Structure 1
């Protein structure tokens, strides 16, 4: 999509992109709502376990997305079409039912949450990639309303507070798995292997890091890390949206829309912090800690992904899956090392500072690799 397209078409596409992008808030609120409800229903020790479970669920969602969506979008020799698989929808319904029946049970929540988040990640990814914008708007509303009802019930101390949260996820899953006219492309096995490998290498860093925070700094810091990561994850919504669109084709318009949304999200988060909304949402884990500096660094870390995503998606479109897996391994080691160094300082702000430095270095690594590939192709074409 180019900025040179006719103005009415460009405006309409930008408007639908912005609405769909905003719908991504529904995905980001699930971890936040889970941590908020847990702060009212579970003990401090159980909250630490749930905080780690939230990061594990995010990792599970990334893996499912890699297998079902990204591997197909990265298979340059196919039509690169994706659909929401019915088996994942069924698994989400079963997991949601189990959580509701079990009530406020830490084991049921820790086991079921990864399945629910995987369904959310894949469902939204399919809708964004295939531009199923109207369907995605309804699904996002269902998730958001369920999360809101669950958080309000948690504030009231109701033991059933998880039920509306889960019901919203399941309802959105049903909407997202409705039939479509196209069929999913069969991913190239080699491409799928590389995509899943580099996703696993990268995604494993954060649950491992949060588990280390739980072990060395205690449950309160683990909950706070999960809360700040979740709140700053609002910035990941436009970045993930941009990544999905760029995996299909380069779009200056989507980059501009996403960058504007990142700036708006940072402003919104700082206003919410100044008003004390996060302390009200997450309870003592937030209100009794110095959170402004860690939050600023977490926002900078997320925003730096803008510079990383553009060359990363360009390499994906070129089919450079093996190269990207190697680069992601290097980046993951660097990220974990710098974040662990921050952990050694004994403060969360140092952990987020390490993540920020690693993200900036990653952007340079990906851009250097992209330019080398482009130069090599130009030489080969001239020859």
Structure 2
């Protein structure tokens, strides 16, 4: 690829990657606005609801997008389903016209976040960069106005948030020239299964925190997980691109972005920005150590994503489901051990240790798969040579 074209492609990739901030700020903006509109108990309920909504979004993404990207026998093309766009826009309209209500918000969040997850995933995978930039701006502006309105004590603070999501959904649902590939049914089943196994850990863990440690710690766990989730933006971007094809450029851009994001989060913590955004749940607790451990946990996914994506591209969905089940069990055990110590820092330390162990597991599996492929190719060449001699 010529150098100017490579530079242009890298620039668009970086802008699209940064647009992922808009997806990450929705949970943070929801928690921030909720802290100004609802009681402490309602905030704890919504803290769990945010993670449940994220899980539903991941599951929908697996069905609509990832199952197609993992179907090696197809063209692996994806589009944003119009039915999901319509349901999301209707949900945003309802939330905009009803008075602030924690239960209504908890019900609507899974639909809104599912549309955001799928819409962004399609745009990144199909390299619809200009469209994605416009959608990200709409979401970001809506979240910013909503949070500022929450600071001012306005009861309509949720309206800009949901309107921004609706606007982004409309942009992402514009027509495209290609048709979606049909996912292989077996592949879809395995992909959805391993996504469900992995994703259910975090809402379950936060429900346990809410039960055993109380609403304040549940809100704080969601807040720290959401803040460190900014690091997941370049990681998810890299994962989507690597599911299509291996790219050293995208790996380099993503790794550099992770380091920059860690530095930015530490600066924001030191100047007190997160205490201002999240309110008493943040300011009344020691957060620097849990935040550092949460950032290390997210960053460790760099080592996990590369072998994981390589196995997905190779069509090893059954193997990955088994590995993900083992890794999820390991993650839950380590995180629960931290919870038993009655310390959120210990919970994030458990998640970090589990992520590092996962990276080793995936890399070993990738190398074994590569060795088997080389061995099979050598056997095939030997058989062809023997046939030629005969």
Which bin holds the TM-score, normalised by the shorter protein?
Answer: over 0.9
Partner of residue 248, structure 1: 244
Partner of residue 89, structure 2: 93
1:141 aligned onto 2:137 = yes
Partner of residue 308, structure 1: 304
- 8 Å CA contact 1:103–1:162 kept in 2: the answer is no
Partner of residue 363, structure 1: 359
Tell me how far apart the structure 2 counterparts of residues 331 and 170 of structure 1 sit (CA, whole Å).
36
For structure 2, list consecutive stretches of 5 or more residues without a partner in the other structure: 380-390
1:48 aligned onto 2:60 = no
Classify the secondary structure of the residue corresponding to 2:179: coil
- 8 Å CA contact 1:297–1:349 kept in 2: the answer is yes
Tell me how far apart the structure 2 counterparts of residues 15 and 106 of structure 1 sit (CA, whole Å).
40
Q: What do you get for the CA RMSD once the two structures are aligned? A: 0.5
1:39 aligned onto 2:35 = yes
Per mean C-alpha deviation after superposition, the further-off stretch among 5-14 and 326-335 is 5-14
Tell me how far apart the structure 2 counterparts of residues 292 and 261 of structure 1 sit (CA, whole Å).
21
Render the CA deviation track for 1:30-69: whole Å, top value 9, x for unaligned: 0000000000000000000000000001001100100000
Displacement after TM superposition at 1:10 (Å): 1.3
Normalised by the length of structure 2, the TM-score is 0.97
Alignment counterpart, residue 319 of structure 1, candidates 309, 315, 321: 315
1:116 aligned onto 2:109 = no
Alignment counterpart, residue 20 of structure 2, candidates 12, 21, 24: 24
Tell me how far apart the structure 1 counterparts of residues 99 and 163 of structure 2 sit (CA, whole Å).
13
1:127 aligned onto 2:123 = yes
Q: State the structure with more CA Rg.
A: 2
Tell me how far apart the structure 2 counterparts of residues 308 and 277 of structure 1 sit (CA, whole Å).
30
Alignment counterpart, residue 10 of structure 2, candidates 11, 14, 21: 14
Partner of residue 268, structure 2: 272
Runs of 4+ in 1 over 3 A off after TM superposition: none
Partner of residue 184, structure 1: 180
Displacement after TM superposition at 1:103 (Å): 2.1
Normalised by the length of structure 1, the TM-score is 0.99
Tell me how far apart the structure 2 counterparts of residues 45 and 98 of structure 1 sit (CA, whole Å).
24
Displacement after TM superposition at 1:127 (Å): 0.1
Alignment counterpart, residue 209 of structure 1, candidates 205, 212, 219: 205
Displacement after TM superposition at 1:94 (Å): 1.6
Alignment counterpart, residue 66 of structure 2, candidates 59, 64, 70: 70
Displacement after TM superposition at 1:349 (Å): 0.2
How many residues align? The count is 379
Partner of residue 385, structure 2: none
- 8 Å CA contact 1:98–1:108 kept in 2: the answer is no
Tell me how far apart the structure 2 counterparts of residues 134 and 121 of structure 1 sit (CA, whole Å).
17
- 8 Å CA contact 1:151–1:161 kept in 2: the answer is yes
Tell me how far apart the structure 2 counterparts of residues 103 and 233 of structure 1 sit (CA, whole Å).
29
Displacement after TM superposition at 1:101 (Å): 2.2
Tell me how far apart the structure 2 counterparts of residues 225 and 72 of structure 1 sit (CA, whole Å).
33
For structure 1, list consecutive stretches of 5 or more residues without a partner in the other structure: none
1:80 aligned onto 2:76 = yes
Tell me how far apart the structure 2 counterparts of residues 187 and 163 of structure 1 sit (CA, whole Å).
37
Classify the secondary structure of the residue corresponding to 2:180: coil
Partner of residue 379, structure 1: 375
